[in-house]
């Protein structure tokens, strides 16, 4: 019996060591990055922008996404507020390192699709607290990752990973991400500004499993310094419904919703 | 005409109520007050505008109607116009749009090179929003799609010229005419409304990762009439005693191309057109003050975001080929535009400056603006139009500087 217990302990130690080896910060973030995603997706996105006085502005968007293997195409049609109704925005992002996104905007009043500069990932999306970079998939090799600890949030055990950008000019000095164990999905993320002060906190408040793929349906980004926050809600989510390649064209940008 | 538009508007309003579930309607209400910054603070603009857009769609057919009501508080006049009214038919590979519509071509901002389809309303120079400068034109537009390529064919059955300011308007452009008594003869200042006088245009466009580009050709009428001058002499005199000036429209065929491309996070744009046989004003009366020359109009533009500031620069040149010295225009005309804009407070506040620079005459138009969103769709704007110089396209309006405010509610 003693021999058996010793063997079991040794085995547990080996498993524990192996799993500890797997639990580097980089691997956790890679697991998040490689989490299965939909081949295509349609959804209604509502962003509520709330300032420090509690005043709320609402942006409503109909969006379509499609993975083309080495690139992802996204098209967004703005539904509200009224002054941006039927404005559309199209983004093509590429897996290839160093290749900038291609972006176009269609303003119905001007009746013209215009290619826009994509070197503004630090710009805030539609006045929200999310930058374009926050909304995209940041590649794991762009940061140095370190597993800090494990912590429980809302009953979920999370890995806490610190990520420091390799690029000196990046808008954040570091981020700290709480990743739910086994689900490989972020639960919370703190963003630190260039002065190393806490700037924003992202919390993931609701997820849904659709066709075995976990989709974040409710999240909140709060700017700690300005007290401004954005609540992002995804509704009517449909995945792998066979969105046509032709959805991501100039024709559809002009045709609108 | 006005009564008819009012009746049509009432019918549309009734139809909207009856078909409320299917017709969507949007638009804006705007108050616009402009003041000349002279010692009296004279009002130059006092307008209240209601822009109404009605849209209906069912299956593969769409309908769009856009009446606009503009009350001029200075003239005490209500102007009603039908800015656009068309229907769409959508097929699998092509779309058809028939009716009064705005058609915009090219990659230039605020400069019209291959963008020759929709005429312009220049009664207030280039100061209204660009969307309001363009006039809807009665036409049939067919778009054929294949992947990222589009072929667009436009047929315009009747010619509609650009609207110029009234002769007594502060925006009436300076005309270079000899200082000899003259009279105007407008008997040929129209284009007949018949099939043979219609206009046509064709465009191929491609939108892709590497580049976006357009190739176009058009068989149009020149929007600006040529001033044919007939001199009248007293026998024995070498100098004419008087002139008859006869404005006349002429055909102006053109071919053109434009592109835009991302390079290192910036966007480079270009656009050019070659116009065949434009009638230029000349000082030589023996040829009725007209010389026919080909000319080229082109632009190169650069858009970039520097530290959150959107910057856009355009350099534009017009070049008259086979130039002769008696032509009143310069052989080369050079213009530049500059735009810088930045938003603050989660995009509720925007500061911007758009400027035209006439490089040859050293003149300019500077248009600073400050815009603030009071709430969703409710915006207040303060701006100024500052003309610099004494001559040229912009300097000639040096006395027309204006400060203004606009309050706008979108619904």
ipTM field: 0.88
State the average pLDDT over residues A37-64: 95
If you measure CA to CA, which chain B residue comes closest to A229? B346
Contact residues on chain B for A250, CB-CB shorter than 8 A: 148, 150, 205, 207
**Domain contains B363:** no
**Whether B131 and A110 lie within 8 Å, measured CB to CB:** yes
- pLDDT value of position A8: 54
Interface check for A116 against chain B (CB to CB < 8 A): the answer is: yes
Task: State which residues form the domain around B278.
Answer: 2-302
- pLDDT value of position A23: 82
pTM for the complete prediction?
0.87
**Whether A249 and B148 lie within 8 Å, measured CB to CB:** yes
Interface check for A70 against chain B (CB to CB < 8 A): the answer is: no
**Whether B346 and A49 lie within 8 Å, measured CB to CB:** yes
**Domain contains B353:** no
pLDDT less than 70: residues of chain B: 1-21
**Domain contains B188:** yes
* Domain residue extents for chain A: 28-255
**Domain contains B122:** yes
Nearest-5° angle of CA B275, CA B289, CA B180?
Answer: 140
**Whether A117 and B304 lie within 8 Å, measured CB to CB:** yes
- pLDDT value of position A138: 84
- Sorted by sequence, the CB contacts under 8 Å of residue B205 that are 6+ apart come out as A250, B149, B150, B152, B212, B213, B214, B215
Interface check for A81 against chain B (CB to CB < 8 A): the answer is: yes
Interfacial B residues in 112-171 facing A (CB < 8 Å): 129-131, 143, 145, 147-148, 150
**Domain contains B361:** no
**Domain contains B406:** no
**Whether A119 and B260 lie within 8 Å, measured CB to CB:** no
Model confidence pLDDT, tens digit, residues A115-170: 988 766 778 888 899 998 888 878 898 999 999 999 999 899 999 999 999 988 88
- pLDDT value of position B180: 80
Cα–Cα distance list, B392 to B112, B172, B175, B313, B335 (Å): 18, 13, 11, 20, 11
Cα–Cα distance list, A54 to A51, A227, A229, B128, B343 (Å): 5, 10, 10, 36, 21
Tokens encoding B278: 């434009």
If you measure CA to CA, which chain A residue comes closest to B107? A114
Query: Phi, psi at residue A27, to the nearest 5°?
Result: -65, -35
> B88, B251 in Cβ contact below 8 A?
no
Q: Among A251, A254, A255, A257, which would you mutate to test the B interface (most chain B Cβ atoms within 10 Å of its Cβ)?
A: A251
Which helix (DSSP H) or strand (DSSP E) does residue A90 occupy? strand A88-94
Contact residues on chain A for B410, CB-CB shorter than 8 A: 81-83
Question: Look-up: residue for tokens 């075995």?
Answer: A212
- pLDDT value of position A74: 95
> A256, A64 in Cβ contact below 8 A?
no
Which residue among A58, A85, A117 sits closest to B265, beta carbon to beta carbon? A117
- pLDDT value of position B113: 97
CA A207 to chain centre: 13
**Whether B262 and A110 lie within 8 Å, measured CB to CB:** no
Question: Look-up: residue for tokens 């959150």?
Answer: B308
**Domain contains B405:** no
Is CATH 2.50.20.10 what the domain over A28-255 is classified as, yes or no?
A: yes
**What is chain B's mean pLDDT, rounded?**
92
> A232, A219 in Cβ contact below 8 A?
yes
> B275, B294 in Cβ contact below 8 A?
yes
> What sign does the CA torsion over B248, B249, B251, B256 have?
positive
Is it the case that residue A97 has pLDDT exceeding 80?
no
- pLDDT value of position A133: 84
If you measure CA to CA, which chain A residue comes closest to B152? A251
- pLDDT value of position A106: 94
* Nearest Cα to Cα of residue B27 among B55, B8, B57: B55
- pLDDT value of position A18: 46
Model confidence pLDDT, tens digit, residues B209-222: 999 999 999 999 99
Query: Phi, psi at residue B264, to the nearest 5°?
Result: 50, 45
Model confidence pLDDT, tens digit, residues A175-197: 999 999 988 999 999 999 999 99
Interface check for B377 against chain A (CB to CB < 8 A): the answer is: yes
Question: Per residue, what are the HEC states of chain B?
Answer: CHHHHHHHHHHHHHHHHHCCCCEEEEEEEEEEEEECCCCCCCEEEEEEEEEEEEEEEECCEEEEEEEEEEEECCCCEEEEEEEEEEEEEECCCEEEEEEEECCCCCCCCCCCCCCCCCCEECEEEECCCHHHHECCEEEEEEEEEECCEEEEEEEECCCCCCECCCCCCCCCCCCCCCCCCEEECCCCCCCCCCHHHCEEEEEEEEECCCCEEEEEEEEEECCCCEEEEEEECCCCCCCCCEEEEEEECCEEEEEEEEEEEEECCEEEEEEEEEEEEEEEEECCHHHCCEEEEEEEEEEEEEEEEECCEEEEEEEEEEEECCCCCCECCCCEEEEEEEEEEEEECCCCEEEEEEEEEECCCCEEEEEEEEEEEEECCEEEEEEEEEEECCCHHHHCCHHHCEEEEEEEEEC
Q: Among A56, A78, A105, A111, which would you mutate to test the B interface (most chain B Cβ atoms within 10 Å of its Cβ)?
A: A111
| Residue B20 belongs to domain with CATH number | 2.40.160
Contact residues on chain B for A112, CB-CB shorter than 8 A: 104
- pLDDT value of position B233: 86
- pLDDT value of position A13: 53
Contact residues on chain A for B209, CB-CB shorter than 8 A: 71, 92, 94, 102
The C-alpha atoms of residue A112 and residue A104 are separated, in whole angstroms, by: 10
If you measure CA to CA, which chain A residue comes closest to B60? A255
Which residue among A82, A113, A116 sits closest to B411, beta carbon to beta carbon? A82
Q: In angstroms, what separates the C-alpha of A193 from chain B's closest C-alpha?
A: 15
The total domain count for chain B is 1
Which residue among B28, B305, B373 sits closest to A119, beta carbon to beta carbon? B305
The C-alpha atoms of residue B148 and residue A73 are separated, in whole angstroms, by: 13
């Amino acid at each position: 019996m003693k021999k058996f217990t010793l063997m079991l302990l040794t085995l547990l130690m080996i498993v524990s060591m192996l799993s500890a080896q797997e639990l580097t910060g980089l691997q956790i973030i890679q697991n998040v990055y490689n989490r299965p995603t939909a081949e295509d997706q349609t959804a209604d996105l509502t962003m509520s922008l709330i300032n420090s006085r509690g005043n709320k502005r609402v942006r409503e968007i109909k969006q379509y996404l499609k993975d083309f293997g080495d690139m992802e195409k996204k098209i967004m049609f703005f539904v509200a507020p009224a002054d941006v109704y039927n404005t559309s925005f199209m983004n093509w992002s590429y897996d290839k390192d160093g290749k900038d996104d291609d972006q176009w905007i269609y303003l119905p009043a001007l009746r013209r699709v215009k290619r826009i500069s994509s070197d503004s990932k630090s710009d805030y999306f539609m006045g929200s607290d999310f930058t374009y970079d926050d909304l995209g998939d940041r590649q794991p090799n762009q940061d140095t990752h370190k597993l800090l600890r494990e912590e429980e949030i809302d009953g979920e055990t999370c890995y806490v990973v610190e990520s420091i950008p390799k690029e000196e000019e990046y808008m954040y000095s570091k981020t700290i991400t709480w990743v739910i164990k086994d689900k490989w999905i972020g639960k919370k993320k703190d963003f630190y500004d260039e002065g190393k002060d806490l700037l924003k906190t992202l919390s993931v408040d609701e997820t849904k499993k659709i066709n075995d793929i976990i989709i974040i349906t409710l999240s909140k980004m709060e700017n700690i310094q300005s007290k401004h926050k954005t609540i992002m809600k995804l509704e009517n989510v449909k995945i792998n419904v066979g969105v046509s390649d032709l959805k991501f064209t100039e024709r559809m940008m002009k045709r609108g919703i | 005409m006005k009564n008819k538009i009012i009746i049509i508007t009432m019918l549309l309003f009734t139809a909207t109520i009856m078909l409320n579930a299917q017709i969507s309607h949007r638009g804006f209400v705007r108050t616009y007050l402009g003041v000349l910054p002279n010692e009296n603070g004279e009002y130059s603009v006092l307008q209240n505008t209601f822009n109404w857009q009605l849209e209906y769609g069912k299956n593969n057919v769409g309908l769009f109607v856009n009446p606009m009501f503009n009350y001029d508080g200075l003239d005490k006049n209500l102007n009603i116009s039908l800015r656009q009214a068309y229907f769409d038919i959508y097929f699998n590979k092509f779309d058809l749009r028939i009716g009064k519509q705005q058609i915009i071509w090219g990659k230039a901002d605020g400069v019209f090179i291959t963008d020759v389809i929709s005429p312009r309303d220049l009664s207030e120079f280039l100061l209204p929003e660009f969307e309001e400068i363009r006039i809807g034109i009665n036409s049939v537009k067919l778009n054929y799609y294949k992947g990222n390529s589009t072929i667009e064919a436009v047929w315009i059955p009747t010619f509609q010229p650009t609207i110029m300011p009234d002769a007594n308007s502060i925006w009436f452009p300076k005309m270079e005419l000899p200082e000899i008594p003259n009279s105007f003869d407008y008997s040929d200042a129209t284009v007949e409304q018949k099939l043979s006088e219609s206009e046509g245009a064709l465009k191929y466009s491609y939108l892709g990762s590497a580049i976006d580009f357009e190739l176009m050709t058009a068989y149009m009428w020149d929007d600006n009439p040529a001033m044919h001058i007939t001199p009248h002499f007293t026998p024995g005199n070498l100098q004419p005693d008087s002139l008859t000036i006869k404005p006349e429209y002429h055909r102006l065929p053109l071919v053109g191309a434009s592109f835009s491309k991302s390079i290192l996070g910036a966007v480079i744009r270009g656009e050019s057109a070659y116009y065949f046989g434009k009638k230029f004003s000349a000082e030589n009366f023996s040829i009725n003050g007209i010389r026919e020359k080909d000319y080229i109009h082109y632009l190169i533009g650069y858009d970039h975001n520097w530290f959150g500031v959107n910057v856009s620069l355009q350099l534009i040149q017009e070049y008259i080929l086979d130039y002769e010295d008696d032509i009143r225009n310069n052989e080369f005309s050079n213009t530049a535009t500059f735009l810088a804009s930045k938003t603050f407070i989660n995009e509720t506040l925007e500061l911007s400056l758009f400027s035209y620079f006439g490089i040859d005459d050293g003149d300019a138009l500077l248009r600073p603006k400050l815009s603030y969103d009071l709430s969703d769709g409710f915006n207040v704007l303060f701006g100024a139009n500052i003309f610099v110089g004494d001559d040229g396209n912009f300097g000639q309006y040096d006395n027309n500087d204006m400060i203004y405010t606009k309050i706008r509610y979108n619904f």
